Structure 1
Amino acid sequence: MTTARPDALRELEREVGVLIRRVRRVIGERARLVHPDLQSSSYLMLGYVVDHGPLRASAMSTIFDVDKGAISRQVQHLVDLGLVDRTPDPDDGRATLISVSDEGARRFRDVTEHRRKWFDERLGDWTADEILAFAGTMHRYNQALGADESWA
């Protein structure tokens, strides 16, 4: 028996909805593990700075498609928590660069290690090839939707 395409798409939408709800919850949990006062949206920005910093707030505005004022508030939140530092941009004295602080890097690394162990436990009966195949399918799905978020 062959599944009708509309039924398959409906099932995909349902499963993506479950994934989105779980991801939102997990991001909030991870943010609180990094720092009890860390906001979920700031956690995502911190992760980006950990992986790609130092960078200007204007670059983050473009990457996250968020206005500069909101980015400025989020960066200030991260600075206030001691998770990132601001330093003058050597290429433009009027601008600043955002980089992860030593404390921010340590805390983020601890949460990342915990997350990977959790994934490893939950996917314990999956082979490495199955995990890579699933990741490849997710990548293909994201590319088909036009997502350019290989940074995440």
Structure 2
Amino acid sequence: MSAKAASPERVGTRAHSLGRLEHEFGVVLRRVKRVLAERARAVHPDLPASSYLMLSYLDESGPCRSSAIAELFAMDKGAISRQVQHLADLGLVERTPDPADGRAALLAVTDEARRRMAQVQRDRRRWLDERLGDWSDEDLLAFVDTLSRYNASLDY
């Protein structure tokens, strides 16, 4: 740590900034919870927010095994199995045999789910663009770059 970073003024300011960061991310987390529920309902009225995250992952990443999803989301395989069944019952996910192991199944979003997810994404980006309309392209890029750096710093 440099001498400048260890000065009392810097420590107090940094501690205050870290507290503000925690507070702002608390606001973000509450907003994300609400937004996930709204997005889930936009895809299907009976879709829970937690299942929306799984559906979104499958939509972005392509077919995968439920065991990979359980590991990624740090969830019990039984809970994942129940969510997958619910998604299948809603017509949003389909199972196909895994070509690498016929005993296992791959999960993939249906065409209807893909269409609904794309519409939700378009609507959300339009909404964001309206809310951030007074941000310059440079401001937006700087924020995205900083947030990406923040997220990379917290990876372990």
Asked if these proteins are the same fold (TM beyond 0.5), I'd say yes
Partner of 1:98: 107
**Which residue of the partner structure matches residue 18 of structure 1?**
27
TM-score by length of structure 2 reads 0.89
- Give the match's secondary structure for 1:85: strand
- Is the counterpart of residue 145 in structure 1 residue 154 in structure 2? yes
Runs of 4+ in structure 1 deviating by more than 3 angstroms, as ranges, are none
Larger radius of gyration: 2
SS of the residue corresponding to residue 4 of structure 1 reads helix
Who is 1:89 aligned against?
98
Secondary structure, in 3 states, of the residue corresponding to 2:145? helix
| Stretches of structure 1 lacking an aligned partner (at least 5 in a row) | 148-152
1:64 and 1:120 mapped to 2: Cα distance?
Answer: 29
Q: Which amino acid aligns with 1:98?
A: L
Please list the CA deviations of residues 75-129 of structure 1 after superposition, one character each: whole Å capped at 9, or x if unmatched: 1111011001101111111000001101111111110110010011011111222
Unaligned runs of 5+ in 2: 1-8
Q: Report how far residue 144 of structure 1 moved.
A: 1.7
Counterparts of 2:95 and 2:151 in 1: how far apart (Å)?
A: 33
Q: Where does 1:97-136 land on structure 2 (aligned, <5 Å)? A: 97-136=106-145
Partner residue, 2:54: 45
For these two proteins, the number of residue pairs brought into alignment is 147
Q: Take 2:106 and 2:14, find their aligned partners in 1: how far apart are those partners?
A: 48
Query: What is the aligned-residue identity percentage?
Result: 58
Tell me how far apart the structure 1 counterparts of residues 137 and 72 of structure 2 sit (CA, whole Å): 31
Relative to its length, the structure with more helix (as a share) is: 2
Give the drift of 1:28.
Answer: 0.4
Q: Which residue of 2 aligns with 1:65?
A: 74
CA–CA separation in structure 2 for the residues paired with 1:112 and 1:64? 21
TM-score normalised according to structure 1 size: 0.92
Aligned-partner Cα distance in 2 for 1:127–1:63: 35
